[in-house]
Structure 1
Amino acid sequence: MAKRDFYEILGLDKSADAAAIKKAYRKLAIQFHPDKNPDNKEAEEKFKEAAEAYEILSDEDKRARYDRFGHAGVGQGAGGGGFAGGGMTMDDIFSQFGDIFGETGGGFGSFFGGGRTSTRSRGERGSNLRIKVSLTLEEIAKGVTKKIKVKKQVGCDQCGGSGAKDSSSVSTCNTCRGSGMVRQVRSTILGQMQTTTTCPTCNGSGQTIKDRCTKCKGDGRMYAEETIEIPIPAGVEAGMQLSMRGKGNAGRMGGPAGDLLINIEEKAHDDLQRDGMNLIHDLYLNFADAALGTSVEVPTIDGRVKIKIPPGTQSGKIFRLKGKGLSNVQDYGQGDQLIHVNVWTPKKLTDEEKRMMESLRTKENFHPQPGKSDRGFFDRMRDYFKG
């Protein structure tokens, strides 16, 4: 099922500023928060939907790509496809956007009564990875799944990413009592204000480690090569960036992984050039074929096709092959293939060819007259070449 427009989800138009986006998201998050709507799947989906919209529109770079390319520009095709946003969980939302209510005192949890400390992500989030993927026009036209080998930080296979030597080496943090967060109350002119911050003792993991893993030295990560399948939708463009949630570097001490950012590059095609959704082919004809008409084969993204060149075709004429271009990345239609005609003029002529051209130039009846039919001219030229 196709995703809804992010501006529509938040009830905004495309000119909305950052403050309006934050305000709209905050309103929806309060309305559909799980603590206010227990066991309500519809409210939970709307809560996630609003968070996905805010994730993109609150980031200037992601918003610019979304405005230009739609969901595919931020790696969010229909159904998510494993890209950022499509696989967002409740843990992701509370860990990433929980502080949006910080000004009310204490984040999501304290705002709604403090019932969601269990959603706190453990450890530190891993960093994002950025790669380039070069695609042929054929791959762009059809869409493709690429298998890419990436060397990155993965969870330690000895300790399972915990960073501890064994289970007996792990204990609950005494400072935060396992929540990963600490609350502070301070007095202001408006009264007492409560804030929630990451625990300084365990760095948000909720645990302390007595004996560290000997393989990863307590980090919970190690370097390894991983093969990742990247589904790329049809119609992507050079410069577009896709992202895959959780496919970046593993987090420290069991923290969530970062994202994999995929920058799209296009390989040059031997016969076709891209112009948005359209493809362009330069067709070179000799003077006789342009004057007399002919049939020629031209390359397309689906193979060669034959087209008819009518008599009297002029240099600069453009033929259009409907629907032979590229699909729009947002499924808004299909482009065409444009064939630009260039009448080729030879640079070198044999003596016989020079005499032929001179003969044509001196014959007055071989010069078409403006405003009159060229039919007689072409007939005489055909007879001349046949003779």
Structure 2
Amino acid sequence: MSNYYDVLGVAREASAEEIKKAYRKMARKLHPDVNPGEDAAEQFKQVTRAYEVLSDPQKRQNYDTTGDEKGAPQGGFGGGGFGGFGDIFEQFFGGGAQQGPISRTQPGRDALITATISLQDAVQGVVYPLDIETAVTCQTCEGSCCQPGTHPETCTNCQGRGQVQRPVRSMLGQMMSVETCHICRGYGNTIPNPCHECSGQGRVRERVTKQLKVPAGVASGTRIHLGGQGEAGLGGGPNGDLYVELEVRRHNVFEREGNDLHATMSVPMTAATLGTDLKFDTFDGEQDITIDPGTQSGQTVRLKELGVPRLRGAGRGDLVIHLQVETPTKVTDEQRELIEQLAALRGEETAEGRLTDRGNVFTRLRDKFGQRG
């Protein structure tokens, strides 16, 4: 198999634009509708195949790594010692060739891409702009593959059938072999004036922007199906489908568990002791948080219906705020004196630790951290 870079006459480090220009230049010279020679037709197939591989980032990476665009060596019955049987059948019976001409119009491929959104966009929904490179119908020829003002012409070699018959001698005597017409390549017609913009393909690769409507409640791994927005087909064929897989970035405040959101808020020791009202910023705006007197670290405040909307169903999860009581690490002499007075009033001049029920401690720890990554 020829090296695809050598076929196009470009270096291995050539850019996508350089590969595209090289292909267009060679395709105009070798296209069967312009150069009907058998050698030119075979070269055109090689040039087209080389471009299909090197213009696709994934296929190009596989080709550079393994020497094959599929990422694995080819083999099996088609390429091993059993190929002789296939040659015989092809010679006598046309290799199972399609009866009648084939259509230039072929459907486009489906495409899968990844889009990264914020947690807030996942909670509230967003219209996300997708900037992608894909195959689109050629605007110059509108998918006809012909230069504007021209049309395909019936192939004079096969009379529009796409196949030709020729007598061959075999061990069984003289037989008629059916094979694909090498002039029109099985299409039944030729294009004397292929479109200069798309080199007779009916489509070109462009960078386009699509608007993706992301519903509220999606999560990492959610796939959104956009029917008919994949790659345009050859010869004005219908577009394939586009699948977008979402990835949600981690948030520096909130963490998602199912449809609930979790956050941690620090509370001054005095506020936790006396109780107070605090403000807390959420995706739905600022909310009032009531801290009850005697609040301990690890207690939670649950704000109903301020979590993640259910993607399939009504309602939302909750926002769970985990409270963390802050103990001052530095105090002034005056503050120390007041704390000592408080300790004396509470009879806590000499502190003694108290063992807490083990089950309750581990239950709280499990509830707080057990399912959080």
Q: With the length of structure 1 as denominator, give the TM-score of the two structures.
A: 0.52
Aligned to 2:234, the other structure's residue is in SS state coil
CA distance in 2: counterparts of 1:246 and 1:349, whole angstroms: 67
1:38-84 deviations in Å (ceiling 9; x for gaps): xxxxxxxxxxxxxxxxxxxxxxxxxxxxxxxxxxxxxxxxxxxxxxx
Aligned to 1:253, the other structure's residue is in SS state helix
Per the alignment, residue 331 of structure 1 pairs with: 313
Per the alignment, residue 239 of structure 1 pairs with: 221
Per the alignment, residue 206 of structure 2 pairs with: 224
Report if the CA contact (8 A) 1:124-1:255 is conserved.
yes
Matches within 5 A, 1:51-70: none
1:286 and 2:268 aligned: yes
Q: 2:316 is matched by which residue type in structure 1? A: Q
Give the 3 Å change call, closer, same or farther, for CA 123–228 of structure 1 in structure 2. same
Give the 3 Å change call, closer, same or farther, for CA 334–121 of structure 1 in structure 2. farther
CA distance in 2: counterparts of 1:168 and 1:137, whole angstroms: 53
Give the 3 Å change call, closer, same or farther, for CA 144–206 of structure 1 in structure 2. farther
- Structure 2 gaps of 5+ residues are 1-101, 163-179, 357-373
Per the alignment, residue 313 of structure 1 pairs with: 295
Report if the CA contact (8 A) 2:140-2:148 is conserved.
no
Report if the CA contact (8 A) 1:129-1:249 is conserved.
yes
Q: 2:315 is matched by which residue type in structure 1? A: G
Per the alignment, residue 344 of structure 1 pairs with: 326
Give the 3 Å change call, closer, same or farther, for CA 245–173 of structure 1 in structure 2. farther
Q: Which of 213, 224, 241 in structure 2 is aligned with 1:259?
A: 241
Report if the CA contact (8 A) 1:205-1:253 is conserved.
no
Q: 1:262 is matched by which residue type in structure 2? A: V
Q: 1:234 is matched by which residue type in structure 2? A: A
Report if the CA contact (8 A) 2:300-2:321 is conserved.
yes
Give the 3 Å change call, closer, same or farther, for CA 362–173 of structure 1 in structure 2. farther
Report if the CA contact (8 A) 1:124-1:204 is conserved.
no
1:213 and 2:195 aligned: yes
CA distance in 2: counterparts of 1:252 and 1:339, whole angstroms: 56
Per the alignment, residue 170 of structure 1 pairs with: 152
Matches within 5 A, 1:93-112: none
CA distance in 2: counterparts of 1:296 and 1:161, whole angstroms: 63
TM-superposed CA distance for 1:126, in Å, is 2.6
Per the alignment, residue 19 of structure 2 pairs with: none
Q: Work out which of the two has the higher radius of gyration on C-alpha atoms and give 1 or 2.
A: 2
Per the alignment, residue 126 of structure 1 pairs with: 108
CA distance in 1: counterparts of 2:312 and 2:156, whole angstroms: 51
CA distance in 1: counterparts of 2:152 and 2:209, whole angstroms: 32
Per the alignment, residue 249 of structure 1 pairs with: 231
Give the 3 Å change call, closer, same or farther, for CA 128–348 of structure 1 in structure 2. farther
CA distance in 2: counterparts of 1:312 and 1:176, whole angstroms: 94
Q: Which of 117, 120, 143 in structure 2 is aligned with 1:135?
A: 117
TM-superposed CA distance for 1:165, in Å, is 2.8
CA distance in 2: counterparts of 1:352 and 1:365, whole angstroms: 20
Aligned to 2:336, the other structure's residue is in SS state helix
Give the 3 Å change call, closer, same or farther, for CA 177–167 of structure 1 in structure 2. farther
Q: 1:257 is matched by which residue type in structure 2? A: N
CA distance in 2: counterparts of 1:203 and 1:331, whole angstroms: 54
Give the 3 Å change call, closer, same or farther, for CA 199–356 of structure 1 in structure 2. farther
Give the 3 Å change call, closer, same or farther, for CA 201–315 of structure 1 in structure 2. farther
CA distance in 1: counterparts of 2:161 and 2:292, whole angstroms: 78
Report if the CA contact (8 A) 2:267-2:326 is conserved.
yes
Q: 1:312 is matched by which residue type in structure 2? A: G
Aligned to 1:291, the other structure's residue is in SS state helix
1:184-206 deviations in Å (ceiling 9; x for gaps): xxxxxxxxxxxxxx999988978
CA distance in 1: counterparts of 2:289 and 2:329, whole angstroms: 27
Report if the CA contact (8 A) 1:126-1:252 is conserved.
yes
1:274 and 2:256 aligned: yes
Per the alignment, residue 189 of structure 1 pairs with: none
**CA-atom RMSD in angstroms:** 3.8
TM-superposed CA distance for 1:154, in Å, is 1.2
TM-superposed CA distance for 1:240, in Å, is 1.7
Equivalenced residue count is 237
1:262-319 deviations in Å (ceiling 9; x for gaps): 2212244343222221111211111111111111111221101112211111111111
Matches within 5 A, 1:292-307: 292-307=274-289
Q: Which of 101, 113, 127 in structure 2 is aligned with 1:145?
A: 127
Q: 2:310 is matched by which residue type in structure 1? A: N
CA distance in 1: counterparts of 2:185 and 2:340, whole angstroms: 89
Report if the CA contact (8 A) 1:126-1:248 is conserved.
yes
CA distance in 1: counterparts of 2:195 and 2:219, whole angstroms: 45
CA distance in 2: counterparts of 1:242 and 1:205, whole angstroms: 36
- Structure 1 gaps of 5+ residues are 1-119, 181-197, 371-387
Aligned to 1:158, the other structure's residue is in SS state coil
Give the 3 Å change call, closer, same or farther, for CA 157–311 of structure 1 in structure 2. same
Give the 3 Å change call, closer, same or farther, for CA 312–173 of structure 1 in structure 2. farther
CA distance in 2: counterparts of 1:293 and 1:203, whole angstroms: 84
1:354 and 2:336 aligned: yes
TM-superposed CA distance for 1:223, in Å, is 2.5
Q: 1:292 is matched by which residue type in structure 2? A: L
What fraction of aligned residue pairs are identical, expressed as a percent? Answer: 36
